[in-house]
Amino acid sequence: MTTFVQQLVNGISLGSIYALIALGYTMVYGVIKLINFAHGDVFMVGAFVAYFAYTGLHLGFIGSLIVSMAACALLGVLIERFAYRPLRQSTRIAALITAIGVSLFLENAGIIAVGAQARGYPDMLPGSPFQVGGVTISTKQVEIILLAVLLMVLLQFIVHRTKIGKAMRAVAFDQDAARMMGIDVDRTISYTFAIGSALAAAAGVVYGAYYSAVDPLMGIMPGLKAFIAAVVGGIGIIPGAMVGGLVLGLIETAVQSFGFSLWRDAAAFALLILILLVKPEGLFGRHAREKV
Amino acid sequence: MRRKWSFAAALFLGGSLLAACGGGAGTTGGNSGGDTIKLGANLELTGSVAAYGSSAKKGMELAIEEINQAGGVLGKKLELIPIDNQSDTTQSTTVAQKLIDQKVVAILGPATTGNTMAELNVATDNKIPIITPTGTALKITVDENTGKTNEYAFRMCFIDPQQGKVGADFVAKELKAKTAVLYVASDSDYAKGLAEAFKKEFEAQGGKVIGQEYYVSKDVDFKTTLTRIKGLNPDVLYIPNYYEDCGKIIKQARELGIKQPIVGGDGYDSDTLVSIAGAENTNNVFFTNHYSADDPDPTIQNFVKKYQAKYNQKPDSFAALGYDTVRLVADAIKRAGEANPVKIKDALAQTKDFEAVTGKMSFDAQHNPVKLVTIIEMKDGKQTLRTKIKP
């Protein structure tokens, strides 16, 4: 029984990390219908910026987190400005391929800048493990779950209760109509990328602190997993990303706890295929008619 | 195309001429013309395993300096020609070719198995001996298909099976463990080789492997499988792989309350392991290694002192093995009586009781050194010498 509860805790904490990354992913998709494959790499850049802010400038956890989120917000805006905006009127597949190109660019630039070797990450998140009835829970796990929920609520608030959120929803609905209503579409999309990338940075910092190691290729697998989480929850839907992340984390943990550790990634991708076959709009998605 | 062919032919001719006349110091096709004896170093100085090659190079340069100060070899100075292979197998082949063109009498390095394999054919075709300081896979010195020894390939380090065997021996005798769980990277030949040898020896000594779990290199979340392992409650965990994965596993295992000893191989030998796992979590962690800088043995202390004086840092295993490699080759040249690659190769094969920093060694019939294996115990993030065991 304690083993079961322990595995449940493991699954939820893994799931909230996926959820954390998936939030930014799904928001960007929700607004401009672009699967931003570079999201996982912005996540990596965020982890490294905080690493240098923490070890080099001694800014502390909150300071490093803010610096990293700001730097990545800027990076996100630049990526959008130079890589995606010129292609906004071309086919979706062209933008998708560009996103993969940006992803490869960031990975390799990372290798040149900091080297391919993994390095230990400073223990930024305070806290130590504690026991509840034989189950070991780390305060970090609790902090990650809380942070994921907090960011989800914050993001929901921004999208549904603020002016810029309203603009985002309008742009998501119809760019041309939004422009005619006097909404600055370019600016709104820049904001979207800034917020999405800042979220990726936050996830990167937490991820680095939790697993205590970072390297330039660290974003690839979490990026893919977050993509699955976003699709499972219904891509473009913010609470869906949270639920999708948790479902994915629990399924992976279940597969491993039955002794099929090598089938973990296979199970994750099988889930993606299954969802796409059975309910392509995701758990939370409404079936929408294709706009013509 | 034509030019390439004639180039290859010339090389071949040069090689066979050399083998035929055995004239080292001759000017036509001689490999050691001039006042120096050239040793090539094909090393990983940049790229993913740059740390290995760079350390080995420092050790090599220290040895060269020392030998030259003592008058060199056969009245000539040694000259080290290091070229970077960028941690890349294709580059490694090119670098070996470049070094052979510069008429080196032997190639030292590369540091890893894959890169060493990449130069094997070029070196063998040109009859130039190669000595890898740290390539641990058996296939470097033994042809996997025929089981024959590769005539021109040597190594300074022990091989994977020896390491796993010694690990099991230590666990059974010193830690008095009766049960063990293996946790292995399914995509790492190194980890699988060590695990296999460990299992065989541990069971031969009456121990029981009660669980064998797998993961994929570069995984980050091990908690689920570790929770399973915790449930099995083994006396010891054997987790052979490189420091990045193992650092994370050690940290997460300790966080889950797994207090049992964790044992691994020379892949643990890096400060990054400690910075990832956290110093206090590395207590009760042991691993097999080539040598320990804390070993009170005077040969080792003498080397550590000189290395620290020159580089202001503690020499790791790569540095020690690099240092040994140069000294062994110098010794072989002396015994060969002339700086001729083929004769050096023969002298190397006959090495017996050579006093290396990493232990007194002789080559067996497969060109693998027979020497003691060191067991390191981690104490608050510091490596300490636990014991030395004969494989």
How distant is the Cα of B313 from the closest Cα of chain A, in angstroms? 19
CATH superfamily of this structure's domain B2-158+298-371: Response regulator (3.40.50.2300)
Is the minimum CB–CB distance between B16 and chain A shorter than 8 Å? no
| Interface test with chain B among A2, A112, A117, A125, by most B beta carbons within 10 Å | A117
Work out the angle between the directed axes of helices A139-161 and A2-32 (0-180°, nearest 10).
30
Cβ partners under 8 Å of residue B8, min gap 6: none
Which ranges of B70-103 would DSSP assign to H, the alpha helix? 89-101
Is the minimum CB–CB distance between B274 and chain A shorter than 8 Å? yes
Beta-carbon separation of A117 and B272 below 8 A: yes
Per-domain residue ranges for chain A? 20-218
> Model-level pTM?
0.81
**Whose CA is closest to B363, among B71, B141, B184?**
B141
Which residues make up the CATH 3.40.50.2300 domain(s) of chain B?
Answer: 2-158+298-371, 160-289
pLDDT score recorded for residue B6: 52
Taking only the tens place, the pLDDT of each residue in B9-59 is 554 444 444 444 433 333 333 444 568 999 999 999 987 778 889 999 999
Coil, helix or strand for A272? Answer: helix
In whole angstroms, how large is the CA radius of gyration of chain A? 19
Measured in degrees and rounded to the nearest 5, phi and psi for residue B43 equal -130, 155
| Interface test with chain A among B45, B220, B239, B249, by most A beta carbons within 10 Å | B220
Strongest mean pLDDT among A173-177, B178-182, B387-391? B178-182
pLDDT score recorded for residue B19: 44
Taking only the tens place, the pLDDT of each residue in A112-135 is 898 877 888 988 877 777 888 778
Is the minimum CB–CB distance between A144 and chain B shorter than 8 Å? no
Alpha carbons B322 and A172: distance in angstroms, whole number: 61
What residues in chain A have per-residue pLDDT under 50? 290-292
Residue A33 CA, distance from chain mean position? 16
Q: How far apart are the first and last CA of chain B?
A: 51
pLDDT score recorded for residue A45: 96
Taking only the tens place, the pLDDT of each residue in B115-134 is 999 999 999 999 999 999 99
The more confidently predicted of residues B30 and B366 is: B366
**Whose CA is closest to B163, among B126, B186, B142, B191?**
B191
Alpha carbons B183 and B162: distance in angstroms, whole number: 19
What DSSP designation does B130 have?
Answer: E
pLDDT score recorded for residue A288: 58
Q: Which residues of B touch A54 (CB under 8 A)?
A: none
* In the predicted structure, residue B317 carries a pLDDT above the cut 50: yes
Taking only the tens place, the pLDDT of each residue in A271-283 is 999 999 988 888 8
Whether B171 and B239 have beta carbons less than 8 Å apart is answered as no
- Helix H, strand E, coil C: the string for A57-86 is CCCHHHHHHHHHHHHHHHHHHHHHHHHHHH
* Residue B189 binned pLDDT confidence (cut-offs 50, 70, 90): confident
Average pLDDT of the residues in B227-255:
92
Match 């510091």 to its residue by tokens: B382
Partner residue opposite A136 with nearest CB, options B213, B228, B256: B256
Is the minimum CB–CB distance between A123 and chain B shorter than 8 Å? yes
Alpha carbons B324 and B79: distance in angstroms, whole number: 16
pLDDT score recorded for residue A200: 94
Partner residue opposite A118 with nearest CB, options B50, B244, B274: B244
Is the minimum CB–CB distance between B196 and chain A shorter than 8 Å? no
pLDDT score recorded for residue A188: 93
Alpha carbons A220 and A99: distance in angstroms, whole number: 13
pLDDT score recorded for residue B22: 39
pLDDT score recorded for residue A109: 93
CATH superfamily of this structure's domain B160-289: Response regulator (3.40.50.2300)
Q: C-alpha angle B32/B43/B78, rounded to 5°?
A: 30
Match 């670098």 to its residue by tokens: B95
pLDDT score recorded for residue A31: 87
Neighbours of A203 (CB within 10 A): 32
Match 């394999």 to its residue by tokens: B117
Record the tokens describing residue B193, joined without a space: 């080789």
Q: Which residues of B touch A14 (CB under 8 A)?
A: 221, 223-224
Alpha carbons B270 and B268: distance in angstroms, whole number: 6
